[in-house]
Amino acid sequence: MEEREIAIIATDLLGAEKAQKVVRSMRAQCRVLHASLEELPGVAKSQVEQGAKVLIAFGMFAKIVRQSVSVPVIMVDLHPDDVLEGLLQAAELGRRVAIVGFQKVLRDIFRIRKLLSVELVDIPTVMPEQIPEALRTLEPGDVLVCGYYQLQIARDLGIRTVVVKPRDSEIAKAISLARSYLEKKQDVGRERFQGQEISEYASLTVDCAGNIMMMNRLAAEYLGVSQLTAVAFSMKEACPQFTRLTDAINNRRSYYNQIARIQDRIFLYHAEPIFRGEELEGAAAIFQDVNAVLGSEAGIRRKLPESANRAQYTLDFIHGHSPCMTQAIKLAIKYAKSEETVLLLGETGVGKELFAQGIHQASGRKNGPFVAVNCASLPESILESELFGYVKGSFTGANREGKKGLFENAHTGTIFLDEIGEISQVLQGKLLRVLQEHSIRRIGGDKPIPVDIRVIAATNRDLISMVREGKFRKDLYFRINVLGLQIPPLRQRQDDVVLLAEEFLEEASLGSGRSYFFSEKAKEAMRHYPWPGNIRELQNMVRRVTVLSDSDEIGEELVQAYIRENRRLCLPEMEEEGEAPAYSLEEALALAGNNKKRAAELLGVSRTTLYRMLERKEL
């Protein structure tokens, strides 16, 4: 990025001098120019022709510049605190105070108009050539709070004024936003945006309060707003669907490949925080119509080798606001920065492979391969040859040329060993040797082959119990459990159940062309079911009810029908008692006020069975 690609245009000499001072203090190389109102469009076009990629203008003059050029234009606006100070000064000079400014500056000021001892008059935002006519509507004795440009016009009309100057920090913020935009543009030019090389994309930038600072023409077109007035509004007013912009500011981290629906269109977007040094200044969104992305992705996929081992998901795909899941994601982010082995623990269906892919994608190995192996899906003899490979002639039926194993395929990347608790002790010993020596030997070979890999293992088994029973090697357990991560089951994330279900429902709506939604009673039923199959079960339930529903509204009866059918999975002991209960164990205890006798009656089981259930659940 060359900072000569940023040009600042001021319509008054005082503004130009102030901008030049900030540029010098930041040691920036931005061009600073002075242009009269008549010269402004021509100067803006000339700067773009000379290589400017972003322009910066003051207040309403940004609107004129936007009409003249196609590159992004950042507006330097007045700070609300300075406007308030100007109002207080004006209140000492007259009983009626008028002010010219954008809505995002005025909306907070006008909330306190009743507290002021003056009548506050706002002059609607107009184009500069309309300022003289607007100021002529003021009465004798009125005081005008204004910027540099209105100052001379007001003086010619005999209107008393209080001048509000743009802060140096606001000019510096605009320069930082311009720098960030150019950096993001270069990044997008170098990398794929969900599998596509982007030549043109929509972008907008907001400050820490969510106010729109910059928006290009494509973004304005997609969002259905005027590019001239978009900067007068906040993100919540113009594009509330981009919720990850708020998250990027609050959590000071990036969110990639997010989905937002705006009317009848679906958009893929990235949200990234903007920093000046260590100081957070806002966030930027880059987005594109998903249909364009899918069309290009299909072409790219045809060009890629089918055998490529790639991770598809990042940690941003893991959604949830419950404390336990938030903590798990935070740990995963920390683990991604390390090269140590990770052990993912969790029940079936909680998303262990999603975490594994996310850790790989957030690590320094993200450009290397990601090789996933389900250790429970293959017989031991086949699993060994798949993992280690073999030399030619090793055994009957072997490939004549020999074969590379999955450890070799994962070289410089990550290998994910799912269901590691299912491998035999013989294979456990060979795996331990790989982790200790960082090399493998193909079956039938005697030459060690160095491998540079990171191992992420996962299991739904209790490995500590298996170690005690002699079914899993203690030394291997400690070797793979350097960084342990327990992924919480869905029953511990009740606040996330409806959130996830609605995301799955949105996917189903896109696939069917419908607009499904859950009734409130259906949501309540989902919250009270413990989901023994976790996220996978929840997703399957959503698929079922969308097929069975005759309307867009998914009612309680469809959800309850699914729950009744699968309730016995929550309580294996029910099989010996006959019918599935009306309540889960936790629900029965809660309804009975923890009275064991009453809870057993609600469940329709004996107290002996209830105590066995409590023992198993450790309640």
Domain ranges of the chain: 1-76, 80-165, 315-486, 490-568, 571-617
Q: What is the pLDDT of residue 484?
A: 94
| Greater pLDDT, 119 or 455 | 455
- Give all strands (DSSP E) within 481-547, no chain letters: 483-486, 517-518
The Cα–Cα gap between 483 and 472 comes to 18
Query: ∠313-315-316 over CA atoms, to 5°?
Result: 90
CATH classification of 80-165, choosing from 1.10.3720.10, 3.40.50.10660, 3.30.930.10, 1.10.1060.10?
3.40.50.10660
The Cα–Cα gap between 40 and 42 comes to 6
Q: What is the CATH number of domain 315-486?
A: 3.40.50.300
| Those residues with Cβ within 8 angstroms of residue 249's Cβ, 6 or more apart along the chain or in another chain | 206, 208, 210, 273, 280, 282, 283
Q: How far is CA 309 from CA 351, 368, 384, in A?
A: 19, 9, 19
Q: What is the pLDDT of residue 140?
A: 87
The Cα–Cα gap between 344 and 336 comes to 13
SS3 at position 95: coil
Check if the beta carbon of residue 125 is closer than 8 Å to that of residue 149. Answer: no
pLDDT one-digit tens code per residue, 467-485: 999 999 999 999 999 999 9
- Give all strands (DSSP E) within 128-264, no chain letters: 143-146, 160-163, 202-207, 212-215, 255-262
| Greater pLDDT, 592 or 274 | 274
pTM of the model: 0.51
The Cα–Cα gap between 477 and 473 comes to 6
Q: How far is CA 404 from CA 235, 313, 449, in A?
A: 52, 26, 11
| Arithmetic mean of pLDDT over the chain | 81
When mean pLDDT is compared over 144-153, 400-409, 530-539, the highest value belongs to 530-539
Q: What is the phi/psi pair of residue 399, to 5°? A: -60, 135
Q: What is the pLDDT of residue 106?
A: 58
pLDDT band for 304, please (50, 70, 90 cuts). very low
Check if the beta carbon of residue 458 is closer than 8 Å to that of residue 347. Answer: no
What is 1-76's CATH superfamily?
A: Response regulator (3.40.50.2300)
Check if the beta carbon of residue 605 is closer than 8 Å to that of residue 577. Answer: yes
Nearest to 56 by CA among 80, 20, 14, 82: 20
The whole-number average pLDDT for the span 581-593 is 66
| Greater pLDDT, 299 or 312 | 312
Q: What is the pLDDT of residue 371?
A: 93
The Cα–Cα gap between 463 and 469 comes to 10
The whole-number average pLDDT for the span 585-605 is 71
The Cα–Cα gap between 297 and 491 comes to 36
The Cα–Cα gap between 285 and 283 comes to 7
pLDDT value at 94 more than 70 = yes
490-568 domain in CATH 3.40.50.150? Answer: no
| Greater pLDDT, 269 or 355 | 355
Domains 80-165 and 315-486 share a fold: yes
